[in-house]
Structure 1
Amino acid sequence: MKIRIEAERCKGHQNCVRAAPQLFEVSEDGSTQLKGCGEVHESLEESALLAADNCPEFAIEIEDDLPPSE
C-alpha cells in the first residue's frame, strides 16, 4: 500500500497525525506531511486507512498494491 497527501487540499486539521503518528507529521508551515516515502508497512495499513477516513478535506490518497482479482 502507498499513501500520499495532496498538499493543495490539506488544511492542517492534523486528524491524520492523531490517527497514524507513525505515518504523518506536522510540517513547519502547519500542514501535514508524510514520514518517509509513502510506502506503508503491512502492520500500519489499518492506521493509514483510518487516517484517510478521518481527513475532512479528502487530501490523503491510498493506492493498493494488490493486483486486480480475476
Structure 2
Amino acid sequence: MKVRVDEDKCCGFAACLSVAPKVFDIDSDQIAVLLIDGEIPEDLRGCTRDAAEACPTDAIVIEE
C-alpha cells in the first residue's frame, strides 16, 4: 500500500495527523506531508486508511 497527499486539495485541517501521527505531519505551509517513503508498513495501514477517510477534502490518496 502506498499513499500520497494531493497538496492542491489539502487544507491543513490535520485530521490525518490526529488519526495517524506516525504516518503524517503538517509542514510550515499547513500542508500534510508523509513521514514514510514508499510502502506503508502493515501495522500502520489501518490508521492510514482511517486518516484518508477522516480527511474533509479527500486529499489523501491510497494506492493499493
* Both structures adopt the same fold (TM-score exceeding 0.5): yes
State, as a whole percentage, how many aligned pairs show the same letter. 36
- Taking the aligned partners of 2:55 and 2:42, their CA distance within structure 1 comes to 21
Q: Confirm whether residue 18 of structure 1 aligns to residue 53 of structure 2.
A: no
Instruction: Map residues 1-70 of structure 1 onto 2, 5 A cutoff.
Output: 1-64=1-64
Deviation at 1:36, TM superposition (A): 2.4
Task: Flag the 1:11–1:38 CA change in 2: closer, same or farther, 3 A.
Answer: farther
Structure 2, unpaired ranges of 5+ = none
| TM-score w.r.t. length of structure 2 | 0.94
Q: Which runs of 5+ in 1 are unaligned?
A: 65-70
Q: Which has the larger radius of gyration?
A: 1
Structure 1 segments (4+ residues) deviating >4 Å: none
Q: TM-score, normalised by structure 1?
A: 0.87
Contact 1:4 1:38 in 2 (8 A): no
- In the alignment of these two chains, the number of paired residues is 64
